[in-house]
Chain A
């Protein structure tokens, strides 16, 4: 009886955490609209929302709203992508950059700008295709050598190094190719426009839908390939679909936010720590938390040294890394993915 009660408490705790993350996300989105070089009160925001011609209206519609959407989309997408990749690879150290997504997207963007300058509209598509190509290369390279989880990670590291070298080569040989190359590499959402966001938002919405649809299969895959197969799961197609979804999500995020794949590594761990090691609500919790975390980091990047701004990638690393280390130190037992 007592066990039953503890179990239901644990269940309630998970729901409370999920709702808490949703609330945190709403607060951070509101802050993201209000705070910046100019403070906009809620009344001004309302005024701006209905009269786009006024000063608050222009700030809201051209600067704050795209930026808020950008951090919301990129944070959620990268966190969800991280959950998928960590589960598929059974590796807590994996993130979107491990399957070569960041490197692929970066290389594609560099190539595009080198050969066909002035094609900002094509950037999201190129980034996504690059991410996808890198992911496929990693997947099939690993499959050719046995497709174990470890070979996938190794192939990912190798392909990422190769593609990063490609990006560096392009940037070195054609210095004008990527005008914002440093901010792309750090990652940031300042000056992001609706034109960039619209296609990326479609990819991310599709990716999140697919991720949530694949959740039951993902839970079974987490039991290990052989167990999953013996429970009747088609392991290879499931793994492929999950990786494809992860590449879609992360590639779309990288296309407008640059290389901030770090979110995809730490947010799933933070969500796991909050949920006390139960993965039932991991995907929704991490998705909400990712959006909230990146949005808050972006608000800080605007406020800390106002009127100057830091790229959000820098703030992210300064806050995220110590936080991540504290988290690791608190989980003394280490990650519970060791072989039984």
Chain B
């Protein structure tokens, strides 16, 4: 569980987040939605402990933030940024880097670490790519390799910044199913998403943001009824019941 209390945060200039209080519970997928520049990524970095708030408090697993040593924090939270360089590594080496927080100098992974990395690669389905260079992978394979690294990091909290952007629909669904599997394993999964249908389908809780503060937090069904989407995105979520009992949503613009 990650909790934010009266958090105000930003980089150089004015604050990007204003007095935000919320929590990301274990065993739930929370999707952060909102227009570009509303502070979604900043919120994620604050929750990951990578950025310190100017005021307010962040607690990760009950511990107040600045008291963590970097490696202990890395044993608590895995975070995948939106963009990153593609290093000259193969998939297995990348996934083994997920064990870095647990290794003492000279950071050489042992048999247990290799086993954990192997398990992470199998559960994500990249074990067949273990010896492939990252630069030869497709976008979807690369994203899965990074998710395997985050799994190998073996943390109770997993934070992903736009994990499905630039992926084809097949890989988008696969990434979301992996998130659901992490949720079912009891992790707190937090995603920044731009894709409303994906968010409504897979997330347990939606956090809608606008100019640095959350304007709605709750289940997809509640958000669809609330009217908050109309204010922020100028679309309305129309529930479409399917014969198998599930409800999906269709997003149509409001006049």
* Residues on A facing B (Cβ under 8 Å): 3-4, 6-7, 10, 90, 146, 215-217, 219-220, 222-224, 226-227, 229-234, 272, 276-280, 282, 333, 336-340
Nearest opposing residue in chain A for B132, CB measure: A3
Known: A224-B84, A272-B88, A337-B87. 18 other contacts (CB 8 A): A4-B131, A7-B92, A10-B131, A146-B12, A215-B106, A219-B97, A223-B97, A226-B50, A227-B79, A230-B78, A231-B97, A232-B73, A232-B100, A279-B89, A333-B135, A336-B88, A337-B85, A340-B84
Q: Which of B80, B90, B93 contacts A227 (CB 8 A)?
A: B80
Complex formed: what's the CA distance from A280 to B90 in Å? Answer: 10
Nearest opposing residue in chain A for B49, CB measure: A230
CB of B90 within 8 A of CB of A278, answer yes
CB of A280 within 8 A of CB of B81, answer no
> Given A277-B133, A277-B135, A333-B135, A233 and B88 touching (CB < 8 A)?
no
| B240 at interface by CB-CB < 8 Å | no
CB distance from A61 to the nearest CB of B (A): 39
> Given A3-B131, A216-B107, A336-B133, A231 and B92 touching (CB < 8 A)?
no
CB distance from B23 to the nearest CB of A (A): 20
Complex formed: what's the CA distance from A301 to B73 in Å? Answer: 55
CB of A278 within 8 A of CB of B84, answer no
Chain B positions within 8 Å of A90 at CB level: 85
Chain B positions within 8 Å of A277 at CB level: 88, 133, 135
CB of B70 within 8 A of CB of A232, answer yes
> Given A277-B88, A336-B88, A340-B84, A231 and B135 touching (CB < 8 A)?
no
Chain A positions within 8 Å of B92 at CB level: 7
CB of B98 within 8 A of CB of A224, answer no
CB of A338 within 8 A of CB of B77, answer no
> Given A224-B84, A272-B88, A279-B87, A233 and B48 touching (CB < 8 A)?
no
Nearest opposing residue in chain B for A279, CB measure: B88
Complex formed: what's the CA distance from A185 to B85 in Å? Answer: 35
* Residues on B facing A (Cβ under 8 Å): 12, 45, 48, 50, 69-75, 77-81, 83-90, 92-94, 97-98, 100-101, 105-108, 128, 130-131, 133-135, 139, 142, 153
Nearest opposing residue in chain B for A10, CB measure: B131
CB of B97 within 8 A of CB of A220, answer yes
Question: Which of B70, B94, B105 has the most chain A CB atoms closer than 10 A to its own CB?
Answer: B70
Complex formed: what's the CA distance from A117 to B176 in Å? Answer: 70
CB distance from A259 to the nearest CB of B (A): 28
CB of B135 within 8 A of CB of A339, answer no
Chain A positions within 8 Å of B88 at CB level: 222, 272, 277-279, 282, 336
Chain B positions within 8 Å of A278 at CB level: 88-90, 93, 133
CB of B86 within 8 A of CB of A340, answer yes
CB distance from B190 to the nearest CB of A (A): 13
Chain A positions within 8 Å of B72 at CB level: 232
CB distance from B88 to the nearest CB of A (A): 4
CB of A223 within 8 A of CB of B74, answer no
Chain B positions within 8 Å of A229 at CB level: 50, 70
Complex formed: what's the CA distance from A230 to B93 in Å? Answer: 17
Complex formed: what's the CA distance from A338 to B135 in Å? Answer: 9
Nearest opposing residue in chain B for A87, CB measure: B87
Q: Which of A146, A222, A231 contacts B153 (CB 8 A)?
A: A231
CB distance from B93 to the nearest CB of A (A): 7
Nearest opposing residue in chain A for B127, CB measure: A3
> Given A226-B50, A226-B84, A280-B93, A3 and B128 touching (CB < 8 A)?
yes
Q: Which of B12, B86, B90, B101 contacts A231 (CB 8 A)?
A: B101
Complex formed: what's the CA distance from A179 to B80 in Å? Answer: 55
Chain B positions within 8 Å of A276 at CB level: 133
CB of B97 within 8 A of CB of A230, answer no
CB of B131 within 8 A of CB of A233, answer no
Complex formed: what's the CA distance from A170 to B45 in Å? Answer: 49
Q: Which of A4, A230, A336 contacts B79 (CB 8 A)?
A: A230
Complex formed: what's the CA distance from A170 to B215 in Å? Answer: 63
> Given A223-B97, A333-B135, A232 and B84 touching (CB < 8 A)?
no
Chain B positions within 8 Å of A282 at CB level: 88
CB of B100 within 8 A of CB of A230, answer no
22 contacts between A and B (CB under 8 A): A3-B130, A3-B131, A4-B130, A216-B108, A219-B97, A220-B107, A222-B88, A224-B81, A226-B45, A227-B80, A230-B48, A230-B74, A231-B153, A232-B73, A232-B101, A280-B93, A336-B88, A336-B134, A338-B85, A338-B86, A339-B83, A340-B142
Complex formed: what's the CA distance from A10 to B93 in Å? Answer: 13
Complex formed: what's the CA distance from A209 to B150 in Å? Answer: 32
